[in-house]
Amino acid sequence: MQRPPFTALAAVYDAIMADVEYDHWADFILTYARDGGLTPRRALDLACGTGGMTRQLQAAGMAVVGVDGSAEMLSVARERLPWVSFEQGDLRTFDLGETFDLVTCVFDSLNNLLAPADLGAALRQAAAHTAPGGLFACDLNTRLGVRELWEGDAIEGLARSEAGEEIHYHWSHHYDAEEELGVVQAFCRVMGEGGEVQEFVETHRERGYDPAELEPLLRGAGFARWDIVEYPDYADPDDRTPRIWVFAWMGEA
């Protein structure tokens, strides 16, 4: 029943995450880009998963490439968006041999990198794929956000897949103070229309990163300047901010 992260979950991910505001996040990113004088034509969506943000970027008129480490998530993305190019790769080491006006990595995906050195490596690869004058946009849970992920430390609910399956999910969270990691046990029970039942658990771990930890990593990755803000009003974060957004610019050639 125990499965590696983002494997069995791929088949039910879109049903459970149907309310995620990818459209609002895309508007948030593109408004910032336009205000900074950038109208991106080509985008790279890192940790694209099943393609939620990828779809929004493509709908905004960009040619988009998606990269993710999970073959199972990419299989769903390719089925949803057969006209988009998707590549499997590790955020720390992938190399597409090209650059993009806009590079995104959303839904706290970078928090899955559990050591600052790994996050630094991923930021260097993101920078290497950002064109001169281009923009990298991502969000991360802060240390507070990882400690206090959900009120009551659990979420549960029912969802229905496009195939008609009923999905019961119960996800519990605890904070490992010794390791400084948030740990989520994601349980799902999937009931088919014929009465068949599948159950699985995935364990997901995240490390929180505060702005002071990110700035040297952004500098070391080669970004020229950046803003670290709150969603949705671009306000400055404070010590009670659970999630931050980073907008990092590459210098002009």
d(CA 223, CA 250) in angstroms, rounded, equals 5
pLDDT surpassing 90 at residue 1: no
Domain ranges of the chain: 2-142+209-249, 146-206
d(CA 92, CA 73) in angstroms, rounded, equals 18
Q: What is the pLDDT of residues 52-80, one digit of tens each?
A: 999 999 999 999 999 999 999 999 999 99
pLDDT surpassing 80 at residue 47: yes
CA 178 to chain centre: 25
d(CA 48, CA 85) in angstroms, rounded, equals 11
Quick one: 42 exposed, middle or buried, by C-beta within 10 A (0-12, 13-18, 19+)?
Answer: middle
**For tokens 């493509």, what's the residue?**
58
Strands (DSSP E) contained in 10-129 are 42-46, 63-68, 85-88, 100-105
For the entire predicted model, the pTM comes to 0.97
Cα end-to-end span (Å), the chain: 51
The pLDDT value recorded for residue 193 is 81
The pLDDT value recorded for residue 48 is 98
Residues 191-219 have a mean pLDDT of 95
215 beta partners: none
Q: Please name the fold of domain 146-206.
A: N-terminal domain of TfIIb (2.20.25)
User: Tokens in use for 193?
Assistant: 């229309």
Q: What is the pLDDT of residues 80-113, one digit of tens each?
A: 999 999 999 999 999 999 999 999 999 999 999 9
User: Tokens in use for 196?
Assistant: 């068949």
pLDDT surpassing 90 at residue 162: no
Q: What is the pLDDT of residues 115-161, one digit of tens each?
A: 999 999 999 999 999 999 999 999 999 999 999 998 889 999 999 99
CATH number at 2-142+209-249: 3.40.50.150
User: Cis peptide before 5, with omega less than 30 degrees from 0?
Assistant: no
Residues 13-39 have a mean pLDDT of 97
- pLDDT above 90 covers a percentage of the chain that reads 95
Q: What is the pLDDT of residues 209-243, one digit of tens each?
A: 999 999 999 999 999 999 999 999 999 999 999 99
